[in-house]
């Protein structure tokens, strides 16, 4: 056994000891401790949890330029309710989701046990998501095997080692997140170093569970802090985290773009991400399956359904024209809290109907603006990658890339607005221009080219000498603009 | 003139910081001194910060709908550990429960002892005018004493 796998085995023991300390789950801990991953995979096969239900296979089978596969978000506390919802939804969706609760996300397993107990005894919703670990391997397997479509775990956990352990052993074949995109938007004091360590373990597990031609699908999280993000930052972070995940040995990767600006801009952003993948990642990882997610708008939604549908319709169009592999839908009631089952079904049906009317359109129908925008983004992407000294090469080691990313965030050369984490400086800000495109309002310390900044600022109808206070308000008002109709 | 001191936090297992940052900004623009504990702040840490900083106003945000248990711990601990003379005004706002919004649920938080509760506010207008009021009261009191 080499030093690397020894390190992982040690971590695995620690994680399973933690599982042992959740009183109702000690049985799972004993099961996982007693079996090798190969044996667990065999058990999964026997339970009918693999093959037809494999997430990566569903993504691979999608034909280029056909409609994006539809996926939703859905997470509730009790497994009976979760199972019922997924069963009701799977007719209208191509890919299923369990979204994990916030106690689990913060590794507060005992807090989660207590909340689940209250939820079970009062039959009132207490948890804001699905406590996957607490429902145990056997019950999760039963649910996964009962559903005829693959299920992804979506969460927001900076340290998801135990969650991944139980999720993969339960037959879930896709797992969202990464060391950057699930650390900076989802933690306050977790360092990138800690996040890399935790996620290296997740990738190791994912690779080990990728047997019998069924790789575990890993997806980066494009929406970041859920506010207005300069699109170039989304592209950069997707490429860099994607690179890190692929270097770790993963062979089914999904990168994403989130609806931010106009349809035309969002199409350009998707084209640039794909171009980056083809130019930088594909040559290094020719056997990896790389697919693309598009997220409906993740910011504040208007109260009126019509307004919400208008936003979703634009997002659906952008996903279709950008040839996204899958579209993660929102609902018309986002403003009012957690959507009901009917709301989600309605949203899937409306989105499907919208895709049907769009027919076979693609980005070749986009206006000249899209290609101008693509050109500007592409040039700036290459400019920044060059300044950052990022080399896409077989000789690049994982630790080299990690050190580089730590340095870039430390110095504010790479930055994300409005994140809770102290890892990034949060100086960069975006706002909407008069057409609705998202532009860099405040570059912070990101070394954008003067030419690009000038182009970004040209459309923004704001004076150059805004105070920091006014800039933050301006960015906030841009973020809230769609909420007001 | 004495500056009004405001302590801000996002309570419990909650990472939503946008509103918290905006509140901080509004307070500073009004001339208050702010101490912002940011996201993911457990009740104990808030109590410690109240004892250390003696704020005039404590702004508690909870956005993920799971805030009630931690909010109730916070208020119990305030009663137990903070002398009445040093107890700040305590305002809470955000998405208070998982699921559909219901007016009666706001009352459950008021019953915990929060002085003001903003349930899914649409904007910062009400907060801003309440802030102006409390600033007037506090600075007026400070000047006349």
pLDDT at position A132 over 60 = yes
Last residue of a domain, one of A311, A341, A365: A365
In a domain, B6, yes or no: no
Note whether A156 contacts B15, CB cutoff 8 Å. yes
Find the distance separating the first CA and the last CA of chain B, reported in whole Å: 12
Residues A338 and A402 in one domain: no
Give me the residue label for tokens 């083809």: A278
Residues of A in contact with B64 (CB under 8 A): 102, 128
Residues A118 and A225 in one domain: yes
The total domain count for chain B is 1
Residues A99 and A70 in one domain: yes
Residues of B in contact with A103 (CB under 8 A): 13, 66
Domain holding A154, by residue range, is 3-365
Nearest to B13 among A105, A126, A225 (CB): A105
Share above pLDDT 70 across residues of chain A, in percent, rounded to a whole number:
99
At residue B100 the predicted structure's pLDDT band, cuts being 50, 70 and 90, is: low
Q: Which of A188, A178, A175 is nearest to A215 (CA)?
A: A175
In a domain, B13, yes or no: no
Look at the pTM and tell me if it is higher than 0.90.
Answer: yes
Residues A43 and A90 in one domain: yes
The total domain count for chain A is 2
Residues A50 and A167 in one domain: yes
Nearest to A188 among B40, B66, B95 (CB): B40
| pLDDT of the residue at A248 | 95
Residues A326 and A375 in one domain: no
| Per-residue pLDDT tens over the stretch A255-309 | 999 999 999 999 999 999 999 999 999 999 999 999 999 999 999 999 899 999 9
Look up the CATH number of the domain holding residue B132. Answer: 3.40.50.280
pLDDT at position A387 over 60 = yes
ipTM: 0.88
Q: How far is CA B9 from CA A456, A473, B13, B97, B108, in A?
A: 34, 20, 12, 18, 20
In a domain, B11, yes or no: no
- The Cα–Cα gap between A310 and A483 comes to 11
Residues A332 and A419 in one domain: no
In a domain, B83, yes or no: yes
Last residue of a domain, one of A346, A365, A384: A365
Last residue of a domain, one of A365, A399, A418: A365
> What's the sign of the alpha-carbon dihedral B126, B132, B135, B141?
negative
Residues A154 and A237 in one domain: yes
| Per-residue pLDDT tens over the stretch A262-275 | 999 999 999 999 99
Count H helices and E strands in chain A, helices first. Answer: 18, 10
Instruction: State how far residue B112 is from chain A, nearest Cα, in angstroms.
Output: 18
Residues of A in contact with B127 (CB under 8 A): none
In a domain, B1, yes or no: no
Note whether B98 contacts A126, CB cutoff 8 Å. yes
Residues A299 and A427 in one domain: no
Residues A359 and A381 in one domain: no
In a domain, B9, yes or no: no
Nearest to B64 among A102, A125, A226 (CB): A102
Residues A263 and A308 in one domain: yes
- The Cα–Cα gap between A459 and A479 comes to 16
Note whether B66 contacts A126, CB cutoff 8 Å. yes
In a domain, B39, yes or no: yes
Note whether B14 contacts A479, CB cutoff 8 Å. no
In a domain, B12, yes or no: no
| pLDDT of the residue at A459 | 87
Domain holding B48, by residue range, is 18-100+113-144
Q: How many CB atoms lie within 10 A of CB A251?
A: 18
| pLDDT of the residue at B101 | 59
Residues A335 and A267 in one domain: yes
Instruction: State how far residue A336 is from chain B, nearest Cα, in angstroms.
Output: 6
pLDDT at position A51 over 60 = no
């Amino acid at each position: 056994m080499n030093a690397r796998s020894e390190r992982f085995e040690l971590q695995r023991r620690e994680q399973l000891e933690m599982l042992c300390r959740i009183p109702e789950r000690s049985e799972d801990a004993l099961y996982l401790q007693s079996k090798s991953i190969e044996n667990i995979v065999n058990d999964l096969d026997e339970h009918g949890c693999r093959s037809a239900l494999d997430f990566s296979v569903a993504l691979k089978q999608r034909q280029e330029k056909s409609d994006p596969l539809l996926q939703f978000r859905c997470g509730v506390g009790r497994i009976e309710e979760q199972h019922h919802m997924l069963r009701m939804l799977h007719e209208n969706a191509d890919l299923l989701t369990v979204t994990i609760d916030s106690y689990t996300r913060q590794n507060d397993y005992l807090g989660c046990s207590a909340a689940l107990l209250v939820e079970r005894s009062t039959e009132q919703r207490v948890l804001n998501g699905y406590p996957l670990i607490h429902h145990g391997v056997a019950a999760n397997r039963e649910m996964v095997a009962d559903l005829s479509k693959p299920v992804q775990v979506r969460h927001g956990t900076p340290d998801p080692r135990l969650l991944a352990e139980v999720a993969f052993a339960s037959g879930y074949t896709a797992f969202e997140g990464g060391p950057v995109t699930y650390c900076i938007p989802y933690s306050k004091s977790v360092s990138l170093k800690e996040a890399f360590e935790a996620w290296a373990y997740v990738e190791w597990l994912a690779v080990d569970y990728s047997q019998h031609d069924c790789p575990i699908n890993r997806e980066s999280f494009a929406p970041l802090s859920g506010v207005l993000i300069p699109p170039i930052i989304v592209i950069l972070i997707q490429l860099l985290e994607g690179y890190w995940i692929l270097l770790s040995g993963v062979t089914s990767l999904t990168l994403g773009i989130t609806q931010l600006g106009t349809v035309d801009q969002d199409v350009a952003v998707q084209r640039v991400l794909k171009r980056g993948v083809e130019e930088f990642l594909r040559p290094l990882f020719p056997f990896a399956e790389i697919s693309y997610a598009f997220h409906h708008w993740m910011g504040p939604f208007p109260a009126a359904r019509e307004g919400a549908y208008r936003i979703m319709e634009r997002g659906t169009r952008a996903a279709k024209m950008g040839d996204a592999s899958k579209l993660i839908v929102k609902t018309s009631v986002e403003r009012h809290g957690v959507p009901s089952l009917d709301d989600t079904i309605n949203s899937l049906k409306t989105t499907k109907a919208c895709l049907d009317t769009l027919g076979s359109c693609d980005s070749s129908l986009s206006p000249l603006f899209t290609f101008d925008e693509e050109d500007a983004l592409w040039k700036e992407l290459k400019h920044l990658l060059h300044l950052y000294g990022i080399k896409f090469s077989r000789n690049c080691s994982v630790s080299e890339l990690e050190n580089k990313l730590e340095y870039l965030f430390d110095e504010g050369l790479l930055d994300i607005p409005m994140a809770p984490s102290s890892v990034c400086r949060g100086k960069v800000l975006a706002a909407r221009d008069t057409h609705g495109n998202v532009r860099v309002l405040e570059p912070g310390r990101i070394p954008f080219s003067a030419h690009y900044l000038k182009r970004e600022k040209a459309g923004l109808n704001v004076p150059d000498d805004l105070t920091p206070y006014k800039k933050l308000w301006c960015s906030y008002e841009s973020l809230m603009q769609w909420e007001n109709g | 003139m004495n500056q009004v001191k405001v302590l801000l936090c996002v309570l419990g297992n909650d990472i939503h910081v946008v509103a918290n940052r905006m509140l901080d900004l509004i307070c500073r623009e009004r001339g208050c001194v702010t101490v912002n504990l940011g996201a993911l702040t457990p009740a104990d840490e808030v109590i410690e910060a109240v004892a250390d900083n003696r704020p005039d106003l404590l702004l508690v945000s909870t956005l993920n709908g799971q805030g009630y248990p931690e909010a109730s711990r916070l208020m119990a601990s305030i009663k137990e550990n903070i002398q009445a003379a040093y107890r700040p005004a305590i305002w809470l706002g955000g998405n208070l429960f998982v699921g559909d919004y219901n007016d009666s649920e706001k009352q459950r938080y008021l019953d915990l002892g929060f002085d003001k509760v903003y349930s899914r506010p649409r904007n910062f207008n009400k907060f801003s005018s309440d802030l102006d009021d409390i600033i007037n009261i506090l600075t007026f009191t400070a000047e006349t004493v």
